[in-house]
Amino acid sequence: MLLTHVELDGALIDARVLDAAVVEAGRLQPRAGEEVLDGRGGALIRGLHDHHLHLYALAADRGSVDCSSGLAALTGARPGSDGWVRGVRARESVDRAVLDALVPDRPVRVQHRGGSLWMLNSAALARVRLDGSDDVERDEDGAPSGRLWRYDARLRAALPTTPPDLGPVLAELTSYGITSVTDATPGLDAGVVSHLAGLDLPVAALGDPAGAAPWKLLLRDHDLVSFDDLLETVRRRRPRPVAVHCVTRESLLLTLAVLDEVGRVPGDRIEHGAVVPDPAALRGLVVVTQPAFVTTRGEDYRRDVEPDDLPHLYRYRSLLDAGVPVLPSSDAPYGPVDPWVVMRAARDRVLGRPERVDAATVLRGYQHGGSGLVLLRTGLSEALDALDSAVVRASWSVPRRPAGNSTPGR
């Protein structure tokens, strides 16, 4: 394929593409039968890689009721193909009685915006087999209140097993210039792993038990495992790197202590790194951050986060200055999936202003481990000024599928 009038490394040229790579560049003439696309001055760049998102949850989110403005949105909502009403981004934490009053006749499950809490009405609880763990909140009589913590995998057993249609999500990702992703969902079963491996867009799955990508460890933020238990878990996975969910000071300090004991290996990752008191302590690790959270949740953080932790939220610049590699990501659907929105958030953040980084730095982070090529609608300088997918939007892209599992961040 011949791409004409494209910006490549700052020059306006033609580029011949084969197997998602530029094989010839300059002033080129089309070959007989060769497909030709006029790039209209758009930048031809390496594809972007979202280093932390959740594909199944993102697909489900697109068919869910948005409760960010209140749970009243559930009233009159039509159930999905599974017969359930699914709500997302709730700000309130409520029990079954509140949900019963809103939707008494259909099973409802609502996810709190933080992602770790599901709230079910009585009709939904009747369809779910609950265990005796502390993750099931109970009232004074021992009956389930409807609030379930970190219950995603256990809820799936009560839901249809048909994989979601990821086509619209993949189309959305490629429209932003994303040509590969890391799915950060822990503990994937064989069916999900097989489904992800068969997608047109390359996926590195942190939850694949037999995969080459780092293994996801989801620490319970306010009910941490012991040092010895986490140490044993990491040792069992070695020599495979680990990707450890750390959104509190305590979870990060525990993780660092364990990795110091067992030894850090190339590819070990800190997912989120929401509170990092000492950036230098993370040398030898990769931090996968979500700059947009500081923008979308800034007011919540100012209100709810301990004052001593506020200066350490979602660091970026200080990590880079300390020699710690940083990879940007969305954590979609819990954060905005649009990478240009993420770049703008990192550049313009108000909370933690010293942690600002320029858009080009974030773009390079997105391109680390990226596959294939993307043709933007604008030149690169204009794209990095606008940081608006409506302006930048990819007009053409092609991923490059690796021979084996992709392992960005290693």
Packing angle, helices 249-262 and 227-237, rounded to 10: 50
pLDDT at 409 over 60: no
The DSSP letter of residue 266 is T
Select the more confidently predicted residue: 407 or 333: 333
Q: How far apart are CA 343 and CA 339, in angstroms?
A: 6
pLDDT at 262 over 50: yes
CB atoms within 10 A of CB 31: 10
The DSSP letter of residue 275 is B
Average pLDDT (267-293) is 98
For the chain, how many residues are written? Answer: 410
Q: What share of the chain is helix, strand, coil (3-state, %, to 5)?
A: 30, 25, 45
Query: pLDDT tens-digit profile of 194-204?
Result: 999 999 999 99
Query: pLDDT tens-digit profile of 378-400?
Result: 999 999 999 999 999 898 998 87
Average pLDDT (230-238) is 98
Q: How far apart are CA 80 and CA 115, in angstroms?
A: 20
Query: pLDDT tens-digit profile of 364-380?
Result: 999 999 989 999 999 99
Average pLDDT (317-346) is 98
Average pLDDT (268-280) is 98
Q: How far apart are CA 163 and CA 186, in angstroms?
A: 17
Query: pLDDT tens-digit profile of 82-141?
Result: 889 999 999 999 999 999 999 999 999 999 988 889 999 999 999 998 998 989 999 999
Domains and CATH numbers, the chain: 2-41 (no CATH), 49-56+164-373 (3.20.20.140), 82-156 (no CATH)
Query: pLDDT tens-digit profile of 345-362?
Result: 999 999 999 999 999 999
The dihedral through the CA atoms of 201, 204, 210, 212 has a sign that is: positive
Q: How far apart are CA 125 and CA 332, in angstroms?
A: 27
Label residue 405 by pLDDT band (50, 70, 90).
very low
Label residue 152 by pLDDT band (50, 70, 90).
confident
Helix (H, G, I), strand (E, B) or coil at 80: coil
User: Which has the closest alpha carbon to 213: 355, 404, 388?
Assistant: 404
Q: How far apart are CA 243 and CA 213, in angstroms?
A: 9
Within 13 Å and on the Cβ side, how many CA atoms surround 28? 25
Question: If you average pLDDT over every residue of the chain, what do you get?
Answer: 94
Query: pLDDT tens-digit profile of 167-183?
Result: 999 999 999 999 999 99
Average pLDDT (330-349) is 98
Q: Which range has highest mean pLDDT (121-130, 147-156, 244-253)? A: 244-253
Average pLDDT (6-16) is 97
* pLDDT on residue 82: 83
**pTM here?**
0.92
ω into 107 cis (within 30 of 0)? no
β-strand partners of 37:
3
First to last CA, the chain: 32
DSSP-derived secondary structure for 80-110: -TTS-EEEEEE-S---HHHHHHH-SSS-EEE
Supply 315's token pair. 């660091």
* pLDDT on residue 404: 43
Question: Side by side, which strands form the sheet with 269-272?
Answer: 215-218, 242-246, 269-272, 286-289, 326-328
Average pLDDT (275-291) is 98
Select the more confidently predicted residue: 221 or 83: 83
Contact 370, 45 (CB under 8 A): no
φ, ψ at 163 (rounded to 5°) = -60, 145
* pLDDT on residue 225: 96
φ, ψ at 231 (rounded to 5°) = -60, -45
* pLDDT on residue 403: 46
Contact 279, 312 (CB under 8 A): no
Label residue 40 by pLDDT band (50, 70, 90).
very high
Average pLDDT (227-236) is 98
Tell me which of 150-154, 204-208, 398-402 is least confident. Answer: 398-402
Label residue 406 by pLDDT band (50, 70, 90).
very low
Label residue 401 by pLDDT band (50, 70, 90).
low
